[in-house]
Every structure is written in C-alpha cells, then in structure tokens.
Amino acid sequence: MECDVLVIGSGPGGYRAAVLAALRGLKTVIVEKAVWGGCCLNRGCVPKKDWHHSARLLDSARHFGGRGIVGDLRGDLGAAWRHQREVVAAVRDSYRSYLKRLGVTAVEGRARFQDAGTVVVDPGATAISPRAVIIATGSTPRMPQGIEALSGRILHSDLLFDEPVPEGARVAVVGGGVIALEFAYILKAFGRDVRWLARNDPFARADFSAPAMKLLRAELADRGLVPIREGVGEVEVGDREIRLATTGGEAFVADWALFATGRRPVTDGLDLERAGLRRDAQGYIVIDDEMRAAPAIYAIGDCVAGPMTANRALYEASVAVDNILSPGGRKRDLAAVPEAVYSAIELARVGLTEEEAEDRGLEPAVGFAAFETSPRALGQDDPRGYVRLVADVDSGALLGGEVLGAEAGELIHMLTAGASGGALRRLASARFNHPSRAEEFQNAAETLAAKWRLQDHVFGTGEGDGAPPES
C-alpha cells in the first residue's frame, strides 16, 4: 500500500494530523492498535471534563437556596460513569465517520518500522510505503515502583474510565500533578471521602502565577482537600479494604485508590531504530524544532518530551503537516499553546509568564481585572478569579495571559485567537455583550494601558501597533 502520509496513532494529535493532511489533498492512512480516539477521548480530557461539569453542578448547589431553588442534590458516580461512556461513544463515532468522509484509510493493528521507507502493520504484515510518517502513539500511566494496578482496588486513570467506578466511599488519591488536582476535586464533589497524598507540592507550578496557585489551594482547602505531603511506601490489599503506608510512617485504610503518578511515552515495539530514530533516556522520541525525528518522519504529542496535553498534540499536528507540505516552513512554539486545569476553580493560561519574559530580555507589564465586580459573575454566584494580561512595555505586544474562574478554559481563547500584532488594541476596541465575563479582557487591557502608559499601543493614538518583539 502506498500513501502520502501515514499517521500512527488516533489520539487527538494523530486524528488532527490525518484530518489536516486529507483536507489538504494528501492521500492519508491512519493506524490504531487499540481503541480509536486514544487517551484523550477514551480515558482523558473528554470524559474527565464530562465528570468535572457534573461536579461543578453539585458544588454550586451550596448557592441554590439563595437563588430560590429548593431541594437536595446528591451525586451518583456510577451514573456519571455511564454518562461519560455515552459521550465518548458518540464522539468516537463522529471521529471515525469524519475520517471516512475525508477518504482517510483506517487500518487496525500494531505498526512497526521495517526501514525508513516502510511500515508494517501486524497482524497480517501489511506493508505501507508512505512519503511521510507522523508518529502519534501517546502515553500510558506510570505506576510507582513496586505497586501494580489491580482492578477495582488500585486504579490508574485508564482503569478509572475503562471499568465502572468502585463502590467504596473511602478513596486515596495519590499524585501531585494535574490529574490528581482534578480528580481529588471531582471525587470529593461526588461525595467520596478523599485522602490525598502528594509527595511533590501540587501548587508549585511555574507555568501559573503564584496568586493563581494560592487561590486554587484555598478553594480546595475550603472543600476539605489538603494534600498530605508524603508518598506511598507500600500498599496491602485485604478482602474488603486496602492499607496504605506513607513514606513518613503514617498508615490509613481506604476502599480503593487512584494513582495519578504520571505517564510515560508509548514508543516500544515500533522498531524506531530501523528507521534511524532516536529516543532519550525517558523513552521520548527525539525531534527537532520542526517535529522531525528523521527525514520524512515526524513525531508529535505525548511520545515527544513536553507537556502531556491534548492541546499540545493538536497544535503539533498542524506543525508537522505544514512541514510535510513545505519542509522547514514552520517551527514549534509551545508558548502559543494554552493550558488549563479543571478543579475547584478553573485555571487557564497561554504565552509567556512575567519571569519568562524577563528571561528573554523583555520588560513585562501586567493588566488585571477581577470577576468580583463583574455583574455576570455576581449573577452566577461565582465571582472568584480574574483576567491577567502580560505585555511588553517597549513594544506593547501581548506576551501572555491567565484566566481564573468559571469557564476559564473557554475564555482563554480570547487570547489564543489574537496573540499577534495589535492584540491589545483589538481587545480594547472589541464589542462585547453585557453583562459577560469576557468584558473583563477589555477592562484588563484598558487598565494595562493606563498603568503602564501604553495608550498608543492599546488605543491606537500613536505609531505603535503592538507587534510582538523578535524572540
């Protein structure tokens, strides 16, 4: 079989790469060895956000009495699990249907390189000879050394979505990353008694600002979620419960445990060396800044070192396809990719932080607008959070931004869609629905202009155009 582009893996990066290649007239084949849609669709961002939405509805019930809504709510985690499965199935069907309409050939099986120009898919040893290959094989959960997953008792995030949620109310959440941050909140909102172990500080994240982490910490603590700063030493599985001993010597029992202790790239079994590809010490495929791992072979998403997010994989898919069509035409810039956390409060950011701007020799300025005075936020009983913009004093260029509060993951697109020359001016001159949360971007831009004397760049009264500086 011959084709223009062969995509290995059907997660968000692989799926988007196949779609983009087909839309641009390339004969495309996509190979998947497991479940179509990869981790994000089946065991990650799609079902997890489904659960988070339900958790937020349950959490908001504290304000219902004051709004004239009378009655009690309780969470049914079993029903929530079934609901996310229905959502996932619907999305998966639409994914596969769209690929078929685009003329993408879907092949089920395990891909491996025979050489730099040939990929073999087993079973059947189907040989494919593509002009270019995009590897998007994703990642798999990493368990602590000496601890193995056990159905219904010791879970990692894949098992949590693959199997019905265990019945027990006492849950140990282990981990200090985003998955633990999110699931500690979700399980608590559904009435579980959560004990959270985190050897590393979950709130020591350089990508979000210190005020953002302080607010997230306070919101979780308000719900009784304060991480125990210890790791798990050993786990004993009994007939009815499990016993966990911490590295600090404490012991407690739980009905089941969720280990959110990181993920590792899926790069074994591909015979990468036969095609001249290299892996680093952690197993990630080594690439250049154009996503190229070898001539005409690209790698994207979790199998490449970097933040393990669907957002990054989707973005890198477009970089890879662009470089297949115009070699060397586009370089990866991860600062352009938004990040979000869905927990007791939503957090989202994009671009440079103040510290990163200073490291590049820029002089950052900050514009701020809080939701506490927003009529829309007050009307929703949710005035927590803010919009925070970072700009360059000299050029007036928008460098980055951060949003905390309800719908932060949606609102951040106000910045990602216009992060180029004149972005601050467009925010200041845009027409907004009132009352709305999005208005606070305009308020933040105007505050930035007044505080840092950037009126020429923001209001267009002078020569400045807010073009981003050379990096």
Please give the pLDDT value at position 206. Answer: 77
Please give the pLDDT value at position 195. Answer: 97
Q: Which residue has the higher pLDDT, 104 or 423?
A: 104
CA distance 177 to 369: 28
Mean pLDDT of 229-254: 93
Phi-psi bin for 27: left (phi > 0), alpha (psi -120 to 50), beta? beta
pLDDT greater than 50 at residue 59: yes
Percentage of the residues of the chain whose pLDDT score is greater than 70: 97
pLDDT greater than 70 at residue 463: no
pLDDT greater than 70 at residue 466: no
Torsions phi, psi of 378, nearest 5? Answer: -65, -40
Please give the pLDDT value at position 457. Answer: 74
Mean pLDDT of 128-137: 98
Please give the pLDDT value at position 188. Answer: 97
Mean pLDDT of 171-199: 97
Please give the pLDDT value at position 31. Answer: 98
Catalytic: which of 63, 413, 434, 457? 434
CA distance 258 to 253: 13
Q: Which residue has the higher pLDDT, 182 or 469?
A: 182
Mean pLDDT of 178-190: 97
CA distance 330 to 186: 39
Domains of the chain, CATH where assigned: 2-140+264-335 (3.50.50.60), 154-261 (3.50.50.60), 345-459 (3.30.390.30)
- Cα–Cα nearest to 5, from 312, 299, 297, 291: 297
Token pair, residue 274, equals 């036969």
Predicted confidence (pLDDT) per residue in 321-356, tens digit: 999 999 999 999 999 999 999 999 999 999 999 999
pLDDT averaged over the chain? 93
pLDDT greater than 80 at residue 74: yes
Please give the pLDDT value at position 418. Answer: 56
Mean pLDDT of 64-82: 92
Which pLDDT band holds residue 54 (cuts at 50, 70, 90)?
very high
Please give the pLDDT value at position 268. Answer: 97
Mean pLDDT of 401-426: 87
Mean pLDDT of 208-219: 95
pLDDT greater than 90 at residue 422: no
Strand partners of residue 119: 113, 128
Token pair, residue 147, equals 């601890």
pLDDT greater than 90 at residue 4: yes
Which pLDDT band holds residue 443 (cuts at 50, 70, 90)?
very high
Residue 67 burial by Cβ neighbours in a 10 Å radius (0-12, 13-18, 19+): exposed
DSSP symbol at 124: T
Catalytic: 156?
no
Which pLDDT band holds residue 362 (cuts at 50, 70, 90)?
very high
Answer positive or negative: Cα dihedral of 23, 29, 34, 35. positive
Which pLDDT band holds residue 406 (cuts at 50, 70, 90)?
very high
Percentage of the residues of the chain whose pLDDT score is greater than 90: 87
pLDDT greater than 50 at residue 263: yes
Please give the pLDDT value at position 462. Answer: 42
Cα-based torsion angle of the residue sequence 281, 283, 284, 285 in order, rounded to the nearest 10 degrees? 100
